[in-house]
Amino acid sequence: MSWLVQGCRPGDSLVFHFSGHGSQQKDYNGDELDGYDETLCPTDFETEGMIVDDEINAVIVKPLPHGVKLHAIIDACHSGTVLDLPFLCRMDRSGKYEWEDHRPRSGVWKGTSGGEVISFSGCDDDQNSADTSALSKITSTGAMTYSFIQAIERGHGTTYGSMLNAMRSTIRKKICELGGGMVTSLISMLLTGGSFSGGITQEPQLTANEQFDVYSKPFSL
């Protein structure tokens, strides 16, 4: 992560992609609205610990200078606010949205040094992201990664709002197609992060360092 932002200059476009395990741990510095820090789990996390959202924000968000853009694509459980960005786009199923303020009450700055950061993540902070073969029919893939690729390939990558809607629609449509029955219920459980109820519990999220109109801002890596 340090290497990614090192020496970046105006005009640079950076991408940070993580597909793997994510978790949560108790927030000890009081900067999380829900009382939990979100984390990424590298291969050595059992001995070296998890990477906490405070650390990620300090390394790849805060130092970003004016004129530099960073996109994060995070396919992991509990990844909604894993970059600790100030604003989350809270969107309902009809596509209507409002920006949710996640700035710490302490006043600690979680934004950039003038740059732009936008993150697509697999699910909300209290949800799980699934690996499943129900989407590709060929091999097990991260549901979020698959829906992200599908949105671009099907021409929905025009704006950030159309991307987010398309991603959610892909996952939601597959849940509906699976229908009832024990086998499909088991697949549905995997796809929705462990829910037997049939309700969708995995919904991709969008966070950013600044608020913007998601339906007018062109999506571009």
Please tell me the predicted confidence (pLDDT) of residue 186.
Answer: 47
User: Nearest-5° angle of CA 92, CA 140, CA 71?
Assistant: 50
Active-site residue list:
21, 77
The pTM (predicted TM-score) of the whole model is 0.86
How far apart CA 129 and CA 140 sit, in angstroms, is 13
Cα(58)–Cα(67) distance, integer angstroms: 18
Number of domains within the chain: 1
Q: Is residue 215 part of a domain?
A: no
Residue reference for tokens 């909604």: 80
For residue 149, how many other CB atoms are within 10 A of its CB?
15
Kindly state whether residue 9 falls inside one of the protein's structural domains: yes
Residue type (1 letter), 106: S
How many other CB atoms are there within 10 angstroms of residue 80's CB atom? 25
User: Pairing state of beta strands 36-41 and 21-26?
Assistant: antiparallel
**Enclosing domain of residue 126:** 2-208
Q: Judge whether 114 lies within some domain.
A: yes
d(CA 188, CA 206): 24
pLDDT at 29: 80
pLDDT, mean of each 10-residue run, the chain (221 residues)? 96 96 87 86 94 96 97 95 96 95 90 97 89 65 89 95 95 69 46 44 93 97 86
Asked if residue 25 belongs to a domain, the reply is: yes
pLDDT of residue 135: 63
Cβ–Cβ < 8 Å for 140, 133: yes
Spatial contact of 142 and 75, defined as CB atoms under 8 Å apart = yes
> Tell me, what CATH number does 41's domain have?
3.40.50.12660
Cβ atoms 145, 171 nearer than 8 A: no
